Amino acid sequence: MHPELRQLRHFVTVAEELHFGRAARRLHMTQPPLSQSIANLEDLLGAPLFLRNRRTVSLSAAGSALLPEARRILEQSSSLVELVRRAASGEAGRLALSFVSTAGLGLLPDMLRRYRAAYPQVQLVLQESTSDVQFEELLAGRIDAGFVIPLQTGAPDAALDYLKVLEEPLVLCAPSGLDALSRPGPVRLRDLPPLPLVIFPRALAPSLHDAILACFRAAGVTPTIGQEAIQMQTIVSLVSGGMGLALVPQSVSNLMRPGVEYRALSDPTPLAETGLAWRRDNDSPVLKGFLDLIKKD
Judge if 237 and 200 occupy the same domain. Answer: yes
* Domains identified in the chain, total number: 3
Judge if 227 and 148 occupy the same domain. Answer: no
Q: What mean pLDDT comes out for the span 115-131? A: 91
Judge if 14 and 140 occupy the same domain. Answer: no
Kindly report, residue by residue over 239-280, the tens digit of the pLDDT.
999 999 999 999 999 888 899 999 999 988 888 889 999 999
CA Rg value for the chain: 32
**What's the pLDDT band for 193 if we cut at 50, 70, 90?**
very high
Is the confidence at residue 154, as pLDDT, over 60?
no
Strands 197-199 and 225-228, sheet pairing: parallel
Q: Are 49 and 42 in contact (CB under 8 A)?
A: yes
- Left (φ > 0), alpha (ψ -120 to 50) or beta: where does 183 sit? beta
Q: Are 41 and 11 in contact (CB under 8 A)?
A: yes
Q: Which of 55, 88, 121 is the last residue of a domain?
A: 88
Judge if 149 and 114 occupy the same domain. Answer: yes
Kindly report, residue by residue over 203-225, the tens digit of the pLDDT.
888 888 988 999 999 999 999 99
Question: CA-CA distance, 120 to 114, in Å (whole number)?
Answer: 10
- Backbone dihedral angles phi then psi of residue 209, each to the nearest 5 degrees: -55, -50
Question: CA-CA distance, 187 to 37, in Å (whole number)?
Answer: 85
> 3-class DSSP state for residue 271?
strand
Q: How much is the pLDDT for 150?
A: 82
Judge if 97 and 143 occupy the same domain. Answer: yes
Instruction: Give the percent of the chain with pLDDT over 90.
Output: 61
Is the confidence at residue 177, as pLDDT, over 70?
yes
Q: Which of 24, 56, 88 is the last residue of a domain?
A: 88
Judge if 178 and 265 occupy the same domain. Answer: yes
Question: CA-CA distance, 115 to 117, in Å (whole number)?
Answer: 5
Judge if 224 and 207 occupy the same domain. Answer: yes
Strands 160-175 and 92-99, sheet pairing: unpaired
Instruction: Give the percent of the chain with pLDDT over 70.
Output: 92
Nearest to 209 by CA among 138, 150, 137: 150
Q: How much is the pLDDT for 5?
A: 86
Q: What mean pLDDT comes out for the span 162-186? A: 91
| Structural domain span for residue 142 | 92-165+274-295
Among 72-86, 163-177, 191-205, where is mean pLDDT lowest?
72-86
Q: Which of 73, 88, 103 is the last residue of a domain?
A: 88
State the CATH number of the domain containing residue 72.
1.10.10.10
Judge if 147 and 135 occupy the same domain. Answer: yes
Judge if 58 and 22 occupy the same domain. Answer: yes
Q: How much is the pLDDT for 2?
A: 66
Q: Global pTM?
A: 0.67
State the CATH number of the domain containing residue 102.
3.40.190.10
Q: Are 204 and 260 in contact (CB under 8 A)?
A: no
